[in-house]
């Protein structure tokens, strides 16, 4: 890869540079962490988003996906969205340099691909592989990481929705994925959009799901419920994602709270983290015994078992109170459940989670 050469430029000064800084803010070690940055481009300086390249703090070219967002009146690019993977230590800052212009010809490298198969869409990179399929009860299934199954056979990232009955009982609505398609495909990430429906007897509600899958094993997952009436919204007690790991080991779960030390508990205790308000939280085990409590906002959670690691960050968690994160065991298989909706639902309909799949 080429280092920065300050004296190098295109004819007539056609190559331009802009530098920006990325900072890790959660006190975590990040490897291959997805970053999205919007860069303003002077009028007339760039007309083709392929004529860019990104250099890291050492001046080494790194993979980048670029997409124009806003154009100038003359048709040139005014705002450019960059997506790339960053390696950062806790609270570390690093500078990146964008080069662009008519004489830039970046390497044609593709690090992630999406293939249409007879049973759905297969997304894969050198690190992982997963499937999206119409007719499935999972948003994503057949998940493999570094050559080993990450979720149990026939299971995957499952959407769930709990309805509240008139007697206070809970009913589990069934998810059916009705359609899947590739919404965006580039060298760094593939975005898959899916449509489905949660149903229970005569009750049903449509749901849209989108997964922005990065080649490094990170997935931005979002789903939007389409409430058809206020009564629909009031009947929902919880809604979110559930991910089982393909191991028979309890392992441990760690909760990261803003402004506090991480809380680490055996996953065999099936701990439940509940955000009581926008600041107060409590962690209880499966018997209801309180293990920890305090003031702060849940920022991330990580479930580790049998060499597999599942991390999750709930985007905008401070606005989604109350909120619940649960761990469970299905026949010895550890499960992480992210309850993104919990009563009262409120007016917000879309929830976003950043998942990280890793294996040792």
**Which region among 65-74, 158-167, 251-260 has the lowest average model confidence (pLDDT)?**
158-167
Q: How far apart are CA 74 and CA 47, in angstroms?
A: 10
**Which region among 80-84, 113-117, 324-328 has the lowest average model confidence (pLDDT)?**
324-328
Q: What confidence score (pLDDT) does residue 27 get?
A: 82
Q: How far apart are CA 18 and CA 12, in angstroms?
A: 18
Q: How far apart are CA 308 and CA 158, in angstroms?
A: 18
Reduce the DSSP state of residue 320 to 3 states and report it. coil
Q: Is the dihedral of CA 326, 323, 92, 106 positive or negative?
A: positive
Domains located in the chain, CATH noted = 15-101 (2.60.40.1180), 113-359 (2.70.98.10)
**Which region among 42-46, 154-158, 178-182, 319-323 has the lowest average model confidence (pLDDT)?**
319-323
**Cis? peptide before 344, omega within 30° of 0:** yes
**Which region among 5-9, 19-23, 68-72, 332-336 has the lowest average model confidence (pLDDT)?**
5-9
Reduce the DSSP state of residue 77 to 3 states and report it. strand
Q: How far apart are CA 37 and CA 31, in angstroms?
A: 17
Number of C-beta neighbours around residue 143 at 10 A = 23
**Tokens encoding 35:** 């970053």
- Region of residue 91 (left: phi > 0; alpha: psi -120 to 50; beta: else): left
Indicate if the pLDDT at residue 345 is higher than 80. no
Task: Please check whether residue 156 is in contact with residue 143, taking contact to mean a CB–CB distance below 8 angstroms.
Answer: yes
Say what percent of the chain tops pLDDT 90.
Answer: 59
How many Å separate Cα 11 from the centre of its chain?
42
Q: How confident is the model at residue 319 (pLDDT cuts 50, 70, 90)?
A: low
Contacts of residue 291, Cβ cutoff 8 Å, sequence gap at least 6 = 263, 265, 269, 271, 283, 284, 285
Give the residue ranges of DSSP H helices in the chain.
230-235
Tell me the CA distances in angstroms from 126 to 112, 123, 144, 188, 190, one per residue in order. 8, 11, 11, 12, 14
**Which region among 17-21, 224-228, 258-262 has the lowest average model confidence (pLDDT)?**
224-228
pTM over cut 0.85: yes
Contacts of residue 339, Cβ cutoff 8 Å, sequence gap at least 6 = 238, 239, 240, 323, 324, 325, 326
Indicate if the pLDDT at residue 232 is higher than 80. no
Query: What's the mean pLDDT in 219-236?
Result: 80
Question: Token pair 């760094």 is at which residue?
Answer: 188
Q: How far apart are CA 224 and CA 13, in angstroms?
A: 47
Contacts of residue 207, Cβ cutoff 8 Å, sequence gap at least 6 = 159, 175, 195, 196, 197, 198, 223, 224, 225, 226
């Amino acid at each position: 890869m080429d280092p920065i050469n300050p004296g190098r430029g295109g004819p007539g000064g056609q190559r331009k540079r802009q530098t920006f800084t990325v900072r890790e803010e959660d006190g975590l070690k990040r490897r291959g962490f997805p970053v999205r940055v919007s860069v303003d481009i002077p009028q007339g300086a760039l007309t083709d988003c392929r004529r860019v390249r990104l250099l890291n703090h050492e001046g080494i070219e790194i993979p980048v996906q670029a997409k124009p967002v806003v154009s100038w009146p003359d048709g040139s690019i005014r705002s450019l969205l960059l997506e790339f993977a960053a390696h950062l230590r806790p609270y570390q800052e690093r500078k990146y340099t964008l080069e662009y212009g008519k004489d830039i010809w970046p390497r044609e490298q593709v690090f992630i691909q999406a293939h249409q198969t007879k049973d759905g869409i297969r997304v894969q990179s050198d690190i992982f592989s997963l499937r999206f399929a119409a007719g499935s009860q999972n948003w994503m299934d057949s998940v493999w990481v570094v050559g080993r199954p990450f979720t149990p056979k026939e299971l995957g990232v499952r959407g769930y929705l709990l309805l509240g009955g008139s007697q206070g009982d809970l009913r589990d609505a069934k998810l059916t994925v009705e359609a899947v398609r590739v919404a965006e495909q580039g060298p760094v990430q593939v975005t898959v959009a899916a449509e489905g429906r949660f149903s229970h007897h005569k009750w049903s509600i449509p749901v849209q799901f989108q997964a922005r899958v990065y080649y490094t094993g990170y997935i931005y997952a979002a789903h939007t419920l389409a409430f058809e009436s206020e009564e629909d919204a009031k009947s929902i007690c919880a809604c979110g994602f559930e991910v089982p790991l393909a191991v028979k080991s309890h392992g441990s779960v760690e909760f990261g709270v803003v402004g506090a030390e991480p809380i680490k508990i055996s996953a065999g205790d099936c701990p439940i983290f509940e955000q009581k308000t926008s600041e107060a939280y409590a962690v209880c085990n499966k018997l209801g015994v309180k293990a920890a409590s305090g003031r702060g906002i849940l920022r991330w959670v990580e479930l580790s078992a049998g060499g597999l690691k599942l991390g999750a960050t709930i985007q905008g968690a401070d606005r989604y109170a109350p909120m619940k994160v649960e761990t469970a065991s299905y026949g010895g298989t550890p499960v992480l459940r992210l309850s993104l909706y919990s009563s009262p639902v409120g007016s917000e309909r879309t929830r976003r989670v950043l998942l990280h799949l890793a294996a040792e």
